Copies of this chain bind each other. A is one copy, B any other.
Amino acid sequence: MRIGELARRTGCDVETVRYYEKEGLLTIPQRDGSGYRLYAGQQLEELQFIRHCRSLGMPLAEIRALLRFRYHPHWDCSGVNAILDTQIVRVQEQMQALQTLLEQLYLLRTECAQRQQAGECGIMKNLNQAAKGEPCLCHPLPSSFA
């Protein structure tokens, strides 16, 4: 099959397929007389493997590592577990950061209840206060929020 069909069957953009090839994730396909890429079932599976891992939020570098385990089924799988664990920690950390953010945003949002001039708006007042290094709703400690 040509690249268009491969893309259609995986729900992936044609450009993305070429990108994965350039990044060394997909095995190099054969070419027909006109230079068109020709794919077989192997690459269809590879691509679906990649898309699946992406849907789990994994970066391409780790997918590349997982693909190596796929090609070497006799390898010790502890590296696979390590990749999963890394990914879990990464997602947990991101969620924690977002949770904090969300609480700060909620607090800030309550500061303005009605239409008024920006200079009187509780949100803007809070932001301007923070800009002066004074404590604000989201960062009650003096200055140096990191």
Complex Cα gap A78–B106 (Å): 16
Q: Is the CB of A56 within 8 A of B138?
A: yes
Among residues of B, the one whose C-beta sits closest to the C-beta of A132 is B45
Given the known inter-chain contacts A80-B124, A91-B105, please indicate yes or no for A55 contacting B85, CB distance below 8 A.
no
Residues of B within 8 A of A88 (CB): 102, 105-106, 109
Q: Is the CB of A136 within 8 A of B80?
A: no
Given the known inter-chain contacts A48-B131, A94-B98, please indicate yes or no for A76 contacting B115, CB distance below 8 A.
yes
Distance in Å: Cβ of A136 to nearest Cβ of chain B: 7
Q: How many residues of A contact B (CB 8 A)?
A: 62
Residues of B within 8 A of A81 (CB): 109, 112, 121, 123
Is A32's CB within 8 Å of the partner chain B?
no
Q: Which of A104-128 contact B (CB under 8 A)?
A: 104-106, 108-109, 112, 115-121, 123-124, 127-128
Partner pick for A127 among B66, B94, B105, CB 8 A cutoff: B66
